[in-house]
């Protein structure tokens, strides 16, 4: 067997003649392998191997810890049911957007008659509906847009750099897509608000206007979009 390996390593098509392989193991779980090669036969010594093994052990631990930190950070900013972002993350992103972007649109979306859905079909179906709507949101927004769980049956979308016209189009598209693609079939209502650099606006004002728009959408019969603009010129 050793002779066969030696003959293979001597083959001109193989660019190395010496090889060290160390598994990356953490908590009895194989994470991968690290391989070092050299063109000179018998290049690696036992001391080199032990040093390499020690290096890989510590590197694996560091990589695993880094991955755990990233996962914890992801869990903090993510709603576990819908896999949309959490409300706090959305707030921070909008504040940053207001500092660097020229404009942006906020959509507040509420599932119509959600209590009736829970009472009729059960809370598990209610959760499934939330997930369905969240997936529809993800399918209908850009990668730069932010979908979030606002609270209860309310979801939110922020479109950085988007005009009011674009935001309105997205909201209407979502209302239509939810009605066509949910089972059991449900509807949603949306309130839309907008900001730009020409007027002094605050995050809270953006949220409040969308909330008022959503309230009016509910009052007018649900399954629709209402845009609430700031009428002040500045």
Report the catalytic residues.
Answer: 153
- The phi, psi pair for 106, rounded to 5°, reads -120, 130
What stretches of 39-145 adopt beta strand conformation (E)?
103-111
- Say if residues 194 and 105 touch (Cβ distance below 8 Å): yes
CA distance 222 to 234: 31
C-alpha span between 149 and 91 (Å, rounded): 11
Query: Rounded CA gap, 183 and 164, in Å?
Result: 30
Q: What's the Rg (C-alpha) of the chain? A: 27
- Those residues with Cβ within 8 angstroms of residue 75's Cβ, 6 or more apart along the chain or in another chain: none
């Amino acid at each position: 067997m050793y002779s066969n390996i030696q003959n293979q390593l001597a083959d001109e098509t193989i660019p190395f003649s010496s090889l060290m392989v160390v598994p990356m193991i953490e908590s009895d779980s194989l994470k991968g392998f690290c391989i070092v090669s050299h063109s000179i036969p018998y290049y690696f010594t036992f001391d080199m191997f032990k040093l390499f093994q020690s290096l890989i052990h510590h590197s694996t631990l560091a990589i695993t810890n880094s991955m755990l930190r990233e996962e914890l950070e992801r869990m903090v900013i993510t709603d576990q049911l819908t896999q949309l972002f959490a409300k706090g993350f959305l707030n921070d992103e909008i504040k940053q957007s207001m500092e660097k972007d020229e404009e942006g649109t906020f959509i507040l979306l509420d599932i119509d008659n959600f209590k009736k859905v829970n009472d009729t079909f059960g809370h598990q179906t209610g959760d499934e509906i939330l997930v369905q709507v969240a997936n529809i949101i993800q399918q209908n927004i850009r990668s730069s847009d932010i979908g979030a769980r606002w609270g209860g049956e309310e979801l939110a979308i922020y479109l950085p750099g988007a005009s009011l016209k674009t935001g309105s189009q997205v909201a209407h598209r979502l209302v239509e897509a939810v009605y066509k693609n949910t089972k059991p079939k449900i509807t949603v209502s949306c309130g839309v608000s907008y900001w730009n650099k020409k007027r002094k606006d605050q995050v809270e004002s953006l949220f409040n206007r969308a909330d008022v728009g959503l309230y009016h959408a509910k009052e007018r019969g649900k399954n629709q979009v209402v845009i609430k603009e700031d009428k002040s010129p500045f």
